[in-house]
Amino acid sequence: MQKTISLLGAVLLVGVLASGCAGPEKKLGRGLNNAFEIVRGGEYRRSLEQAALFDSPNVGYTTGVVRGFNRTLARTGLGLYEIITAPIPPYGPSATAYLSPKPVYPDSYQPRLIESTTFATDGSVGFSGGDIVPYIPASRFRIFDN
């Protein structure tokens, strides 16, 4: 009996490791990203900016704020749903008719990697960028910035 249970456990472990977990991994990562939307505020800022640009600045400060708040709460709720249901198929994005599967940012902002030796692979050559003196304004130094 002891050997059967250990053999069954070994077969189960090999089956889990061999089957892969790309679907649940992506769904959990997407869920965590969406759940922290309430902290990040990308939907809020984008909705406010888009309403101000395409309608009028007055609409941006009224309707844009309400639309951004609603979309932020929707994305946060969707993130919590994806976190809870991460191990359960289907693994594709949900509610894509209303929300984009990827996080959104205002058009006036382009996210970048943080300046760190983890991401600066050219640091040994001497061409890494970043702040030379971060407490002085306009001290940003970037090479090959696209």
Q: What is the 3-state secondary structure (H, E, C) of the chain?
A: CHHHHHHHHHHHHHHHHHHCCHHHHHHHHHHHHHHCHHHHCHHHHHHHHHHHHHCCHHHHHHHHHHHHHHHHHHHHHHHHHHHHCCCCCCCCCCCCCCCCCCCCCCCCCCCCCCCCCCCCCCCCCCCCCEECCCCCCCCEECCCCC
Residue-range domain boundaries for the chain = 21-109, 112-146
The pTM for the full model equals 0.66
Q: In this predicted model, what pLDDT tens digit does every residue of 26-62 receive, in sequence order?
A: 999 999 999 999 998 999 999 999 999 999 888 889 9
Note the pLDDT of residue 109. 79
Note the pLDDT of residue 135. 58
